[in-house]
């Protein structure tokens, strides 16, 4: 199955260059349809460029705090000199949304064109 998602420029470029391998999302109705082996097409919100990834694993947790404990910051899209903080997710998802849904780390591999 193929899914479509939009990304800001910075995480899009990190996935494109292979350093970001875990996409952090709410496990809402849309994400609950994703299965291992599916393809996700990401569209860059700035450039409208598209890339495709294959889902190689789904890591489900009760909170972003739990998820952050299990992955290194580079794979989640942080640089070496940044602090990985679960509160960073609040600029994308409100606390209410986070409390309503569990969270998922979508482990992915870029599909070469």
Query: What CATH code would you report for 2-110?
Result: 2.30.130.30
**Which sequence spans correspond to the domains of the chain?**
2-110
The pLDDT score that the predictor gives to residue 53 is 98
Tokens 């994703």 -> residue: 34
pLDDT digits (tens, 9 = 90+) for 94-108: 888 988 999 999 999
pLDDT digits (tens, 9 = 90+) for 3-31: 999 999 999 999 999 999 999 999 999 99
Task: Label residue 112 by pLDDT band (50, 70, 90).
Answer: confident
Residues in CB range of 59: below 8 A, 6 or more apart = 22, 67, 70, 71, 104, 105, 106, 107
The pLDDT score that the predictor gives to residue 113 is 57
């Amino acid at each position: 199955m193929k899914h479509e998602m939009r990304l800001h420029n910075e995480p899009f470029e990190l996935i494109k260059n292979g350093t970001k391998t875990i996409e952090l999302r709410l496990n809402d109705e849309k994400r609950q349809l994703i299965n291992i082996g599916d393809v996700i097409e990401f569209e860059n919100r700035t450039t409208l460029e598209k890339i495709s990834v294959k889902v190689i694993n789904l890591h489900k947790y009760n909170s972003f705090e739990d998820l952050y404990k299990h992955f290194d910051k580079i794979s989640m899209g942080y640089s070496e000199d940044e602090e990985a903080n679960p509160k960073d997710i609040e600029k994308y998802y409100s606390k209410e949304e986070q409390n309503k849904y569990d969270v998922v780390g979508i482990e992915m591999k870029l599909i070469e064109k």
